[in-house]
Amino acid sequence: MTEATIERLRLFLIESPIKMARLQGVGNVKGTVKRVLLELTSSDGVIGWGEAAPWEVFTGTPEAAFAALDIYLRPIVLGKPVRRIRALMAELDRALVGHAEAKVAIEMALLDIVGKSSGLSVADLLGGRVRDTIPLSFSIADPDFAADLERMRKMVPDGNLIYKVKTGVKPHREDLDHLAAIRKEFGDKVDLRVDYNQALAPFGAIKILRDIEQFAPTFIEQPVPRKFLDVMAQLTAALETPVLADESCFDRRDMMEVVRREAADAVSIKLMKAGGLFEAQAIMAIADIAGLPGYGGTLWEGGIGLAAGTQLIAATPGISLGCEFYMPHHVLTEDVLEERVANRGGHVVVPDGAGLGIRVSEASVRANARVLAEG
């Protein structure tokens, strides 16, 4: 029997309108977000989808991811066996430094193809499910806090109980007022977290964070810039509230250093940082040894990338702190899936179909595409 190979690669640079502006600490977003969609077709006619969603202040630009895929990675991918995913990913790493988002798009599309060909979900391919739903965390990041509070009034009764407040963008006093308003209205019913996105300077950070602790957050995410790992360790030792590393941990080497320095109590696992689902599981394996739980973070993925994220979390026991996969339902005005990944009772429902378990709308992809490359 002839082994199926990759026969065609299509790329779409997508620009999608969003419903609200987002204040994110290291960078703000309004109007639209861009991402790259990848379609691979195997020699036996099976189609797989992937998504690259960089953010220019975090990992890179969508245009750079598009060029990496189109110019540098396309010649390597075409003609390769679809089932030899690890071998291909290693070859991509040797051929091109960085561009984790471009590489994870290829890996998720290959897993989508293999899953569809075998009748298995990506979670099955990653070792099998340990969970069918994932608690959903919504980020309070609208410049208009009153609008976010009104959203909470609608979401909490529906079972959405986890909220991560983006802090450090507005004055500290304003952050405290917002946290106080949430606790006053919703009390302990909501699971409250805070995320500084590296916004604090090391000098004086401990005083600010001790003010935050009065609101009993579940964790404080990345309070200082990633390069100040010693400061992260000092804060982790000094605070009663767990500290979660995001920008301080991109890969296995970072994870080992976080563990060695005791620089966090938990870690954010993002496919766009890790550059692969297998790599994300490897990072989490190191965290597991040290007893650090994982949180399913995102950048600006749409439904394809977030479907891959749900499959990863479904098959990875240590990612137990929920996920922030709210973009397609709450921020994007339109996604490219025929049917969005379900949210139910404050949880993301992991698709149970073969591959990623999704169906992509070709019409929606083309309607939102700014650039198309085929071959």
- The residues annotated with a catalytic role in the active site are 166, 324
Other Cβ atoms closer than 10 A to 78: 14
The DSSP-derived string for 296-352 is E--SS--HHHHHHHHHHHHT-TT--S-B---IIIIIBS--SBSSPPPEETTEEEPP-
Distance between CA atoms of 89 and 93, rounded to whole angstroms? 6
Other Cβ atoms closer than 10 A to 145: 19
Chain position carrying tokens 């070792």 = 127
Q: Which two tokens stand for residue 351?
A: 């698709």
3-state secondary structure 212-271: HHHHCCCCEECCCCCCCHHHHHHHHHHCCCCEEECCCCCCHHHHHHHHHHCCCCEEEECH
